[in-house]
């Protein structure tokens, strides 16, 4: 690990930083072209080209209604995923949290929950938000488990709202209110 590397948000294991153009030179582009990585989300419908990824990275720096961050495993400084607050609504004080973890070697090790804890703390304590929400495929048991571990409650179902692999899936909606949030370790 580089001495003194500064992250926007961090704990002992993960660092959250802005996306960098150099990320497009790694395996980041492959995440969106990998059917297994995108199995439960709306990606992998069109091939992702490097130029498109670079445009996304550049545009992510100028947003005020979204905060898109790379997740690095601090031990190796490897870019293992992204986490974001999207559709930030400062009137209703709410935002949607979204994840993509493309480095499959790091799946199931708690990095998504650690990154989410950092971002949720930031959303509630720095941005003044009151509600964080997400939707996930009814088949995405891993995301449901992460959400429940973080204290999210299942609030409803959007029936047959996601079309993947030739069939429709329900989307489970989850929400977390600031007063329900516990800032301790996951």
Q: Residue 41's pLDDT is what?
A: 73
Q: For residue 102, what pLDDT band results from cuts at 50, 70 and 90? A: confident
Query: What's the rounded Cα separation, in Å, for the pair 114 and 120?
Result: 10
Q: Give 80 or 43, the one with higher predicted confidence.
A: 80
For the cut 90, the answer to whether the pLDDT of residue 37 exceeds it is no
Mean pLDDT of 31-46: 72
- What are 123's two structure tokens? 């959303």
Element (H, E) at 132: strand 131-137
Q: Whole-angstrom Cα distance, residue 93 to residue 88? A: 7
CA atoms within a 13 Å half-sphere pointing along the CA-CB vector of 37: 22
Residue 135 pairs in a beta bridge with 173
CA distance 157 to 168: 13
Residues with Cβ within 8 Å of residue 51, at least 6 apart in sequence:
none
Nearest to 30 by CA among 109, 111, 100, 99: 100
51-83, pLDDT tens digit by residue? 888 998 999 999 999 999 999 999 999 999 999
pTM of the model: 0.90
45 pLDDT higher than 70: no
3-state secondary structure 62-110: HCCCCEEEEEEECCCCEEEEEEEEEEEECCCCEEEEEEECCCHHHCCCC
* Poorest-pLDDT segment among 35-49, 77-91, 123-137: 35-49
By DSSP bridging, strand 131-137 and strand 94-100 are: parallel
């Amino acid at each position: 690990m580089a001495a003194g590397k500064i992250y926007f948000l961090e704990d002992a294991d993960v660092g959250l930083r802005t996306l960098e153009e150099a990320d497009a030179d790694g395996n980041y582009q492959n995440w969106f072209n990998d059917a297994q990585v995108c199995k439960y989300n709306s990606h992998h419908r069109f091939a992702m080209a490097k130029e498109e990824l670079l445009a996304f990275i550049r545009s992510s720096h100028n947003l005020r209604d979204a905060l898109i961050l790379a997740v690095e495993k601090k031990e190796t400084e490897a870019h293992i995923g992204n986490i974001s607050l999207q559709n930030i609504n400062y009137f209703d004080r709410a935002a949607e949290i979204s994840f993509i973890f493309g480095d499959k070697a790091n799946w199931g090790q708690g990095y998504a929950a650690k990154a989410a804890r950092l971002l949720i703390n930031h959303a509630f304590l720095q941005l003044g938000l009151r509600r964080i929400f997400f939707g996930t495929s009814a088949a995405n048991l891993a995301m449901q488990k992460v959400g429940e571990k973080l204290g999210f409650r299942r609030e409803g179902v959007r029936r047959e709202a996601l079309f993947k692999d030739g069939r429709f899936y329900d989307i489970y909606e989850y929400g977390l209110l600031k007063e329900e949030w516990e800032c301790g370790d996951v």
